């Protein structure tokens, strides 16, 4: 009898623990699909930002089928910490670049007017109102990046000089340095199709590197006929070496520095995607990795967009790659930060086609993954996948 009572008590205790679930907070893990009933509009999510007081800002380009303007207009969605919509706002600026910026309390995004001039737009996060607008003096903005010193680096394209245009701005949006690298070919049509979402979406990106006492940026941009990862040193934006592939049909799709001259990168080439977990990059020379296959990623879609991020969970740093598979999944590959070691692969299956747009680490050490989903296979809408920190704890 005593044994039975003990056994029953034990079962109820275990059941009680599972019933409790108090350690799981709704804001730590959720999935939200943001639907608009208008069937004539398509969302192209560009960036996500977690706000200091909780909640998220989601930046999208919204393309309206019936509009005479070919470029998608900028749109912001403000959500609660659990992903519920608090407000949405459309802006009279177009083709917003990937990634929102947040520095010294200023939050905003980069987009262009119909004359293709780039602007930085600061917004009031409580209402979505424009708090400031700054002409950046470059055209066709393609990507924006806030560095560790909170400077803003913007990649554009100069259709007159046929050059990629890289400009660095200080905290007051004052121009610090600017450089143009020659493409030697007129790629304005490809750039326009990239911006108006009617053609190939090129994997433009910007990152930072440090090597010894040197530091700088690597920028995936058009240069010398091809889509290359070009290294710049930060002091004068002096161009160093680069990583090239093949014209614009092959490229590095994401790049992240491990330490020193060791990098992890993904690339697509000849219809295949590859992950090179640990390669040595000589930032002073022009080189390619076309003959180094690394790990083939056949599950990824053709010329897959890949995002990379450095995250820290329980004081341990990791490198995270995120992409989309042929079977409608968002996938994350979690690697050790210091050595080439795959720790975990996570799939988030959807019933419809899905593509990744941005990835950030959140304050509670989880990850927010922004993407685009085709609701009912046809309506393009933002989808936000919030993953808890325990997903990445080995």
| Segment interacting with other proteins (CB under 8 A) among 24-32, 136-144, 152-160, 306-314 | 24-32
For residues 78 and 128, the answer to whether their CB atoms sit within 8 Å is yes
Alpha carbon distance 254, 201 (integer Å): 14
Please report whether residue 96 would count as binding other proteins according to CB under 8 A.
no
Residue with tokens 């990152």, as numbered in its chain: 207
Quote the least distance from Cβ 306 to other proteins, whole Å. 21
5/160 with CB nearer other proteins: 5
Quote the least distance from Cβ 339 to other proteins, whole Å. 30
29/185 with CB nearer other proteins: 29
Q: Which of 26, 199, 236, 260 binds other proteins (CB under 8 A)?
A: 26
**CA dist list (Å): 213 to 216, 234, 258:** 10, 11, 16
CB pairs under 8 A, 24+ apart, for 374-382? 375/33, 375/35, 376/352, 377/352, 377/353, 379/35, 379/39, 379/42, 380/42, 380/43, 380/44, 381/33, 381/34, 381/35, 381/36, 381/43, 382/33, 382/34, 382/43, 382/45, 382/58, 382/60, 382/77, 382/357
Q: Which of 34, 217, 244, 289 binds other proteins (CB under 8 A)?
A: 34
| Segment interacting with other proteins (CB under 8 A) among 100-108, 113-121, 333-341, 342-350 | 342-350
Q: Calculate ∠ Cα 65-71-77, nearest 5°.
A: 85
How many other β-carbons are positioned within 10 Å of the β-carbon of residue 345? 11
How many other β-carbons are positioned within 10 Å of the β-carbon of residue 319? 22
Q: Return the SS3 of 338.
A: coil
146/375 with CB nearer other proteins: 375
| Segment interacting with other proteins (CB under 8 A) among 75-83, 94-102, 107-115, 117-125 | 75-83
Stretch 221-260: interaction string toward other proteins, x if CB under 8 A: ----------------------------------------
Please report whether residue 77 would count as binding other proteins according to CB under 8 A.
yes
Q: Return the SS3 of 256.
A: strand
Quote the least distance from Cβ 68 to other proteins, whole Å. 20
18/291 with CB nearer other proteins: 18
Q: Which of 149, 214, 259, 349 binds other proteins (CB under 8 A)?
A: 349
Show contacts with other proteins in window 371-390 (CB under 8 A).
Answer: 375-376, 379, 388
Alpha carbon distance 250, 302 (integer Å): 11
Quote the least distance from Cβ 367 to other proteins, whole Å. 15
| Segment interacting with other proteins (CB under 8 A) among 31-39, 143-151, 200-208, 235-243 | 31-39
- Listed residue (335, 331, 362) closest to 349, CA to CA: 331
Q: Which of 88, 151, 215, 316 binds other proteins (CB under 8 A)?
A: 88
Residues found near other proteins in the complex (CB under 8 A): 11-12, 14-15, 18-19, 21, 24, 26, 29-39, 77, 79, 83-85, 88, 348-351, 375-376, 379, 388
């Amino acid at each position: 009898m005593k044994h039975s009572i003990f056994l029953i008590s034990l079962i109820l205790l275990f059941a009680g623990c599972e019933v409790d679930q108090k350690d799981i907070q709704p804001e730590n893990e959720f999935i939200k699909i943001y639907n608009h009933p208008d069937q004539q509009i398509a969302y192209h999510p560009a960036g996500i930002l977690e706000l200091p007081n909780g909640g998220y800002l989601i930046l999208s380009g919204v393309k309206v089928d019936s509009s005479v303007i070919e470029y998608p207009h900028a749109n912001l969605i403000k959500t609660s910490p659990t992903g519920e919509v608090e407000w949405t706002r459309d802006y009279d600026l177009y083709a917003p670049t990937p990634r929102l910026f947040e520095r010294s309390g200023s939050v905003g995004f980069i987009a262009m007017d119909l004359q293709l001039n780039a602007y930085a737009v600061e917004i009031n996060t409580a209402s979505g109102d424009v708090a400031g607008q700054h002409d950046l003096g470059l055209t066709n903005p393609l990507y924006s990046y806030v560095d560790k010193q909170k400077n803003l680096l913007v990649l554009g394209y100069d259709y007159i000089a046929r050059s990629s245009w890289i400009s660095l701005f200080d905290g007051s949006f004052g121009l610090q340095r600017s450089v143009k690298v020659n493409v030697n070919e007129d790629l304005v049509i490809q750039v326009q199709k990239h911006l108006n979402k009617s053609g190939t979406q090129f994997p433009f990106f910007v990152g930072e590197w440090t090597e010894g006492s040197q530091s700088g940026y690597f920028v995936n941009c058009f240069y010398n006929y091809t889509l290359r990862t070009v290294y710049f040193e930060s002091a004068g934006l002096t161009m160093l070496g680069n990583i090239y592939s093949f014209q614009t049909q092959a490229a590095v799709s994401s790049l992240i520095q491990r330490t020193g001259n060791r990098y992890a990168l993904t690339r697509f080439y000849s219809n295949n995607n590859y992950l090179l977990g640990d390669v040595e990059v000589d930032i002073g020379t022009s080189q390619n990795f076309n003959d180094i296959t690394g790990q083939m990623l056949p599950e990824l879609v053709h010329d897959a967009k890949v995002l990379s991020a450095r995250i820290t969970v329980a004081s341990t740093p990791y490198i995270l790659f995120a992409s989309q598979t042929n079977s409608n999944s968002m996938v994350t590959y979690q690697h050790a930060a210091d050595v080439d070691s795959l720790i975990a692969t996570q799939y988030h299956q959807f019933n419809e086609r899905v593509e990744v747009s941005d990835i950030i680490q959140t304050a509670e050490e989880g990850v927010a993954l922004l993407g685009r989903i085709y609701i009912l296979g046809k309506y393009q809408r933002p989808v936000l996948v919030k993953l808890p920190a325990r997903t990445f704890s080995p």
